[in-house]
Amino acid sequence: MHIDFDMFYAAVEIWDNPLLEGRPVAVGEKGIVSTANYIARKVGIRSGMPIFIARKLCSKLVMCKPDF
């Protein structure tokens, strides 16, 4: 079994809001991306990346605040 915990929070946001399905989604706050889904990763968005750079890489990126 493989569990990708790096995408966990992004998957939870998509689960909570099905309208995000198929869109590039990242979770983060205070200027840093905590996690991103696979669609966002395809364009180069990674954990630990500054949000302003992530937005430059993907103008359609949906940023969500973490909901622990």
Using CA atoms, how far apart are residues 17 and 35, in angstroms rounded to an integer?
Answer: 17
Number of domain units in the chain: 1
Structure confidence at residue 62 (pLDDT): 96
Question: Average of pLDDT values for 5-18?
Answer: 88
CATH code for the domain of 57: 3.40.1170.60
Share above pLDDT 70 across residues of the chain, in percent, rounded to a whole number? 96
Domain range spanning residue 14?
5-64
pLDDT tens-place string over residues 25-57: 999 989 999 999 999 999 999 999 999 999 999
∠ CA 51-37-22, nearest 5°, is: 110
